Amino acid sequence: MHSTRKILLASLIAAGSLSVAQAADITIGMAEALSGGAAQYGHSIKNGFELAASEINAAGGINGNKIKLVVEDEQGKKEEAINVFKKLIFQDKVLMIFGPTLSNSAQAADPIAQAAKTVAFGTSNTADGITSIGNYVFRNSVTEADVLPVTISTAQRKLGIKKVAVLYGNDDVFTKSGYDNFKKALADLKVPVTATETFAKGDVDFKAQLTKIQSTHPDAIVLSALLAEGGPIMVQARQLGIKLPFIGGNGMNSVKIFDLAPGAASNDLWVGSPWSIDNNTPENTKFVAAYKAKYNTAPDQFSAQSYDAMHIAAQALKKVKLTGNLAADRTALRDALPNVKWTGATGAFEFTQAKNRAGKPAGYDAKQTAIISMTHDGKYIIEK
């Protein structure tokens, strides 16, 4: 650069009339549950995003622009998710939003992003129907509809289960959707259900349901729960002498279960996800090492999914020529995202377009292969 221009530029920056760093930031919103029961997931998710963003920025950013994350706590509550989405979209003027943590919140808040033509990208929403909201709604979390049939059939093949009892939360979008999909998978595989019991968010005593289940002599308990209830359910089952395997959904696939149900209480829990800490691909090995180095703890599938999601968004952003016109830039990012193919910590990834209730093309789901794992002595072990 010519030296007089350099001086002019420097004085403009000093005078505050031009901010090179700010002008070049790509502002991305992150709305996750960082307090309340779902914070068990939210913090892992936040860590994954921040790790990926720091890697991308350290490597020079996106076409020279740095990613700046605006972090908001949606508390795992749908009203709060709506508030936070509005703040990020209209006040912070983010280019896109990652989150929210729960499908329950996504179902409430994603329509705000859709109406504002701003991408809402979930990394942990697995219930049916989320991406039917519209074409600005994306997720890289594989749905319960895709994973649960594989979990059930693997457990059936390896455990020889003939009949199961079902326990699920009946007041949450994800736990209800998990129930629907478990029910369908069990019917498809002709596994009879000996009892179906329910609970609600915030419940702490599950002994009545577990005792009833015990009296029907199932070979396993199929559980659609979030950790806040799923942890105590496993503890109380073991206290009642129920040593049966549990077959869980996405909510039970977190290392936090080993804290919530310590020792043998968390043994024999079957779950499915594209990610496993023992999947020794170069991408995953690099992710696990980088995560451990930064956070001094092991990652889980929730951090792996958010880590990959940030890299997926970065791939799309590389193709977008940002103009500074927010509406145009938001739409250009939306248009670039569906074409991204990425191999990350969770393996090979691409999007597949979902349909809305009228059968018309809507948002985008993940196309990935599930790995089934079973817990033993504080670890998830791959079951083939």
Which residues of the chain form contacts with ligand 1QQ (CB under 6 A)?
38, 41, 101-103, 124-127, 174, 226, 250-251
Q: How far is the CB of 346 from ligand 1QQ (least distance, A)?
A: 14
Nearer to ligand 1QQ, 158 or 183 (CB): 183
- 3-state SS, the chain, equals CCHHHHHHHHHHHHCCCCCHHHHCCEEEEEEECCCCCCHHHHHHHHHHHHHHHHHHHHCCCECCECEEEEEEECCCCHHHHHHHHHHHHHHCCCCEEECCCCHHHHHHHHHHHHHCCCEEEECCCCCCCHHHHCCCEEECCCCHHHHHHHHHHHHHHHHCCCCEEEEEECCCHHHHHHHHHHHHHHHHCCCCEEEEEEECCCCCCCHHHHHHHHHCCCCEEEEECCHHHHHHHHHHHHHCCCCCCEEECHHHCCCCHHHHCCHHHHCCEEEEECCCCCCCCHHHHHHHHHHHHHHCCCCCHHHHHHHHHHHHHHHHHHHCCCCCCHHHHHHHHHHHHHHCEEEECCEEEEEEEEECCCCCEEEEEEECCCEEEEEECCEEEEEC
Nearer to ligand 1QQ, 174 or 206 (CB): 174
Residue 41 or 121: the one with the smaller Cβ distance to ligand 1QQ is 41
Nearer to ligand 1QQ, 199 or 329 (CB): 199
In angstroms, give the least distance from the CB of 15 to ligand 1QQ: 47
CB of 227 to ligand 1QQ, least distance (A): 8
Nearest approach in angstroms of CB 129 to ligand 1QQ is 11
C-beta of 214 vs 306, nearer to ligand 1QQ:
306
Smallest distance, ligand 1QQ to C-beta of residue 102, A: 4
